[in-house]
Structure 1
């Protein structure tokens, strides 16, 4: 059995406490807003390009497909604001990574109506995805409600009911991928339908938690992959199961596996907004705790 630090994964090589590329790009966004006193899409894109093309800035070996596709378009002379790939052209564009920065940025707005507009505008710079936009339609007002101090469990339950369940999910999705010997062999139109064909059933977290043990909810009922049509219901169930407890919710997400890094960042935003405080030892476990704390405080002053 290899030691923990020898086990290979997407972010292999990062040490405990170091940020993934996704988290560092949130910092790029915050610094862009802080430096200029407000959000400007063109300025962010300049900072994004600078960060991604400066040697030594990023230690994370995993670069999401949206970034690879974005720079493929950019190197062919496409204008930066038009470089985002479409989900219909590449199914992996609709992933959790497209939710994180827009969610953070939405907090610059005083209320969720405008916040959603801000979030969707930013999303389109890197992810042209219907699934991400749909998830933001629930997550932005939910995050704002939690920040405003609404009771967490009732609020999560209320907004969860706005989420439609995807038809093919959990074990059925896994079997479909297996039958095709990998998602890359699934015809484009079939893949599009598989990830965008929603049922008439809304997410009822209380009913699911009452009728299914965690072992069935995780993986069997909802896939642990990177797609928000699966990850959003799962993370809301994890938060509700753990009564909004920050540490317990994030630990449950970690143990769920799959795309637990990006899914965990979204869950962390929600659980952090609901929590009275975040455990100090978790914050100090970050390699650049001081720098991150400084950036967050400067960003919050602009809200």
Structure 2
């Protein structure tokens, strides 16, 4: 296991990388017309930008966080102040710190835009008076990952605890088991990167070892080396909450594609055209895995290609920023991104406290 300072640096890199990605996407968020994106922001977006009038985050300024960043910071404060994941405290904070500022419409609340799953949670709690713990809504998007990545960093050295806490938190807003499985899988990958393992073609094999040891809650029929079960093996060797381990297997394929000279996505921002520009989790995760694997030592290139691909580029940049930051560490994030980020000292203080808790247990 790499030494403690390296783990701490990678943990902080993952958190701050997500905040940077969120703020980079604030201005050019949700342009599906790439020609219009270029007309508004030029051929290459290389930093924080103001949202244009009439766009999703109108009124905010370059370097500020969207609502995804607001909720990530809320999650961080809960984890740090409670010493770990406390679901009752997290839900209380949503009830007291976020929901009073929403009105159920998309263009409301801190950060200028409220995502579908959060609007549905607000409606169940505020309008219908329903308790937390009932199944989340049907949104097939990445909103749960965007906050749960902080939980993944907190429990990076304890994959079983990571999976349990992430699954519980994600289920508050996401009701689809496939979305939940992909959320737990992404956070498990992030935990491995914080530990110091590379995002390469072997990442899925490492995750499947955790499945077979009973640490990750995925159903697996194959043996540890992904070979068929032998006669006499129990059926199945490992049964978990999620019916298929495919969400754990996908990252290795994207990492292999990024390393294969026979696979060409040029320029890399066109990964959004290959895997899809929309918001759904099955478009977002492959692109983030690909970019983070391709630019594993180059945080700036990873997040800027994520942003310049258009579509749901903010989520793509948050996810890519977390994965890339976990590989480069905080020291690998360009200073200009940290200096231009609103409230960066406070966010970095929270990230450091979370990283300390991750290292000490």
Q: What TM-score range do you get, normalising by the shorter chain?
A: 0.7 to 0.9
- Of the structure 1 ranges 278-287 and 145-154, higher mean CA displacement relative to structure 2 is found in 145-154
1:14 is aligned to 2:67: no
Structure 2 match to 1:141: 188
**Residue 105 (structure 1) shift:** 0.6
Between the aligned partners of 1:30 and 1:159, the Cα distance in structure 2 is 27
Structure 2 match to 1:120: 167
Cα deviation digits, residues 44-74 of structure 1 (max 9, x gap): 1110111124459954221001111111111
1:291 is aligned to 2:343: no
Between the aligned partners of 1:107 and 1:239, the Cα distance in structure 2 is 17
Alpha-carbon distance change, 159 to 248 in structure 1, aligned in 2, over 3 angstroms: farther
Q: Is the 8 A contact 1:156 1:236 kept in 2?
A: no
**Residue 125 (structure 1) shift:** 1.1
Cα deviation digits, residues 142-177 of structure 1 (max 9, x gap): 212211112344555867999xxxxxxxxxxxxxxx
Alpha-carbon distance change, 250 to 45 in structure 1, aligned in 2, over 3 angstroms: same
Between the aligned partners of 1:36 and 1:117, the Cα distance in structure 2 is 17
Structure 2 match to 1:268: 321
Alpha-carbon distance change, 8 to 152 in structure 1, aligned in 2, over 3 angstroms: same
Q: Which of these residues, 81, 84, 90, is aligned with residue 38 of structure 1?
A: 84
- Of the structure 1 ranges 31-40 and 94-103, higher mean CA displacement relative to structure 2 is found in 31-40
Structure 2 match to 1:168: none
Cα deviation digits, residues 68-120 of structure 1 (max 9, x gap): 111111121211232621x2xxxxx1101121222221233232122111111
1:95 is aligned to 2:123: no
Q: Which of these residues, 283, 287, 292, is aligned with residue 239 of structure 1?
A: 292
Q: Is the 8 A contact 2:142 2:183 kept in 1?
A: no
Between the aligned partners of 1:150 and 1:299, the Cα distance in structure 2 is 20
Q: Is the 8 A contact 1:42 1:81 kept in 2?
A: no
Alpha-carbon distance change, 84 to 2 in structure 1, aligned in 2, over 3 angstroms: same
Structure 2 match to 1:81: 133
**5+ long unaligned stretches in structure 1:** 88-92, 163-197
**Residue 298 (structure 1) shift:** 2.2
Between the aligned partners of 2:80 and 2:98, the Cα distance in structure 1 is 19
TM-score, length-scaled by structure 1: 0.75
Between the aligned partners of 2:110 and 2:187, the Cα distance in structure 1 is 30
Structure 2 match to 1:253: 306
Q: Is the 8 A contact 1:99 1:132 kept in 2?
A: no
Q: How does 1:75-224 map to 2 (within 5 A)?
A: 75-82=127-134, 84-85=136-137, 87=138, 93-109=139-155, 110-153=157-200, 204-205=253-254, 206-207=256-257, 210-214=262-266, 218-224=271-277
Greater relative CO (CA pairs within 8 A, separation 6+): 2
RMSD, matched Cα? 3.2
Q: How many residues align structurally?
A: 262
Cα deviation digits, residues 113-150 of structure 1 (max 9, x gap): 22111111110112122232222343223212211112
